[in-house]
Amino acid sequence: MAKKTEEKLGKYINFFTDFGFKKLFGEEANKKLLINFLNTLLVDVRITKIKYLKNEHLGKQEKDRKSIFDLYCQNEKGEHFIIEMQKAKQKYFKDRGVFYASSVILSQAKKDKKAEKGSGEPDFVWNYELANVYTIAVMDFKFDMIGEESEGNQVKHDVMLLNIETNKIFYDKLRFVYLEMPNFNKTIEQLESDYDKWLYILKNISKFEDAPEILNQGIFMEVFEIAEVANYSPEEMSAYEDSLKSYRDLKNSMITYREEGLQKGEIIGLQKGEIIGLQKGEVIGLQKGLQKGAKETNKMNTINCIHLGLDNQTIHQITNLPISEIEKIRKELSKK
């Protein structure tokens, strides 16, 4: 069972709390931080202005707050940005992201007022031209990118529709960028670009006692100023402490579930491996359990395998007994 660790309130906010994310990226006064972050992340996109839009249609369920859809914005070109902070792995996470992006696409459909009021022929023809839709997900967990948990150290996954035969991009107006933060492990000495600095700050800011010199410059000076909890009102401090407690409770629960799942899996695997009255479908589990079995146990299991009609080679793979020994046991059984 995992033990909860009591953490003191740090000098700077934890970015992965709902409060921390919105404080840095979701307030009108701080929107230049979001603009800088997006320009750094999306190197081929230039944003000079951005406005926050309502996001009611992008996440109505209160129970979804632990994998919250945070921000919905639009830049001066009419391009749409969904920015999300994901604290915990969630089933159908990719499906949900596509659903949210699709709702933004549908919201771009032109509405004809005359037709809606039944006042005759439409006064325009829409050619279906769409503005770009970007979904940005900052994830505090290992991502199920291609059907299994990703391996290695890839941090940024940049996804668009492509032709699988030519491997060329088919449609570039629908784009998903996933940041797999557990894979970002650069030290402060290894930071080379503003992209590196942003990720380093977002992942580690709550651990700092003071702003490192290499980060205490330019836009990042403002990040540390805004993130310092001593600057908050009593109401903001209360909201942050509640948000931090929720985050820590979630993390502790995830650790507990993972440890209990591993323990349960080990017990079940051992039970299946050592069971004598095996079913044919349990051969693999039996093989692992028998590795620790004594010679007499191997003999008993060999007898059971013979009764199940397994051939000598299969029994050898299961019990590790030599074929000659298996044949000897088989002969002994035939005499009874």
Q: Where are the domains of the chain?
A: 18-261, 275-335
Of the candidates 191, 61, 84, 204, the one whose C-alpha atom is nearest the C-alpha of residue 143 is 84
- Block residue for tokens 């919905």: 72
Question: What is the per-residue pLDDT across 17-39, written as a single tens digit (0 to 9) for each?
Answer: 999 999 999 999 999 999 999 99
Report the pLDDT value the prediction gives residue 249, as an integer from 0 to 100: 82
Q: Is the pLDDT of residue 285 over 60?
A: no
Tell me the two tokens of residue 25.
């990226």
Q: Is the pLDDT of residue 318 over 90?
A: no
CB 101 within 8 A of CB 110: no
- CA-to-CA distance for 5 and 75, rounded, in angstroms? 42
CB 28 within 8 A of CB 19: no
- CA-to-CA distance for 89 and 255, rounded, in angstroms? 12
According to DSSP, the residues that pair with 156 across neighbouring strands are 179
Question: What is the per-residue pLDDT across 183-231, written as a single tens digit (0 to 9) for each?
Answer: 999 999 999 999 999 999 999 999 999 999 999 889 999 999 999 999 9
Percentage with pLDDT > 90 across the chain: 44
Question: What is the per-residue pLDDT across 40-97, written as a single tens digit (0 to 9) for each?
Answer: 999 899 999 999 987 655 444 444 443 345 799 999 999 999 999 888 777 788 888 8
Question: What is the per-residue pLDDT across 151-160, written as a single tens digit (0 to 9) for each?
Answer: 568 899 999 9
Task: Compute CA distances 103 → 82, 108, 129, 161, whole Å.
Answer: 11, 9, 16, 17
> At 172, phi and psi to the nearest 5?
-105, 5
- CA-to-CA distance for 150 and 154, rounded, in angstroms? 8
Q: Helices (DSSP H) in 136-218: which residue ranges?
A: 194-204
- CA-to-CA distance for 50 and 81, rounded, in angstroms? 9
Task: pLDDT band for 269, please (50, 70, 90 cuts).
Answer: low
Tell me the two tokens of residue 67.
């994998």
Give the Cβ contact number of residue 44 at 10 Å: 5
More confident residue, 2 or 274: 274
Report the pLDDT value the prediction gives residue 3, as an integer from 0 to 100: 41
- CA-to-CA distance for 82 and 160, rounded, in angstroms? 15
